[in-house]
Amino acid sequence: MDKNKVTEKLNEFFGDKTVRVFMPKQFLANLSDLLTKQNKVLVDQVKANNVSPELIEETKKTQDLLIELKKAIQENKVDKVEVSNLKEYPKPEKFPEIKIPEQKEIKIPEFPKEINLKEPVWYEKIQNKLIGFIADVVGVLKKSFASDLDRHKEAGNAFAVRLVTYDGKDFYNAMFSGGGGGVPNPLDVNMRGYNDTNWQPVGLDTTTRALSIIQYEHHEIHEGNHFFYADGITLAAAAKQQYMITTPNTLVFPHLLFSITGGLGITITIDEAGDRVGTTLQTVYNSDRNSLNAATTIIHKGTGGGSTDGTEIATFAIGSASVGGKIGGGIRASEEIILKRNTKYIFEVASVANANNIAVYFTWYERLDFAA
């Protein structure tokens, strides 16, 4: 009869390493079922967190034994069992049940939501000393600055201040002395302006002693960058007259104001970016008649050719067949138009009555756009 030896671990299970066990497949299968059930009990206890070192070790031994037992079932071909020293071994079906002691629940303490740290005793001492040190330093600086400021009340020790215009082209030097000791003294001002050639004194109003200041567009007149165009026409009812303004293809932008007055009712439209051709080139004048600067923006009276006047960006109507009115010529801050470069603008004037006398006036200054 062909007999196979079951592993040494199975002999150890019966308690005696010297025992040699031979058994048929059916017996091994029954033993396997019993061990499988017992292993399930152990696994369930582990899943339920009833864990102890002894239970973990027992579970591992049972699992190893099951693996060896499966090998024995596959390899064993005998149909009966021969066991030596039988008096010491109980029958498999009467093996005592393994009872697992109940395990205590393991509780993990909740993580603290807030941790408060107290300042150490030494911190308060250092903090007080630090505050005192800063106060002393500030006091010394204040005293030193006040003393130094008193020195500048003398004309010979006056502060030097430079005032620069927004474009960086013009600037002024201001000489003044300040008061010390917390009591303000009169401000002595000696201002000069540089005109790219030499220094000139800046004037004060003799009555109020305020600085003499002019508006920016007025300044452009003095710079020779301000221009104007004027025209007078008479139109019949429904008659129209166009004026085309063409801007240069440079970074010098015209800042435009216009004023159109009709003795009777008129309508005005402004179109941008057309392709018309100007009819008659007009003469424009520099507002500073001493300046030789020429305008880079040109005006034509009448248009022809092309296919479109452009996109209408504004339209106005004022007056009636018996009453006239004026359009434009208001406050520069709200009515100034900065025209696009290399673009054509058409101002069209239409009369609503016969024998309508109309005055047309364009004025602008040309200034380099620093943001471009």
User: Residue 209 — left, alpha, or beta (φ > 0 → left; ψ -120 to 50 → alpha)?
Assistant: left
CATH code, residues 221-368:
2.60.120
pLDDT tens, per residue, the chain with 372 residues: 334 454 455 555 555 444 444 555 566 666 667 767 776 776 677 666 666 667 667 667 766 776 776 676 666 544 444 444 444 444 444 445 555 556 556 565 565 556 565 666 666 666 666 677 677 776 766 666 566 656 656 656 665 555 666 556 565 555 444 444 444 444 455 667 776 778 777 777 777 767 777 888 888 999 999 999 999 999 999 999 999 999 999 999 999 999 999 999 999 999 999 999 999 999 999 999 999 999 999 999 999 999 999 999 999 999 999 999 999 877 777 789 999 999 999 999 999 999 999 999 999 999 987 665
Its sign, for the CA torsion 339, 342, 343, 345, is positive
Type of residue numbered 205: D
Domain ranges in the chain?
Answer: 8-94, 125-213, 221-368
Cα torsion through 192, 194, 200, 201, rounded to 10:
-20
Does pTM surpass 0.85? no
- Hey, what are 286's tokens? 């520099």
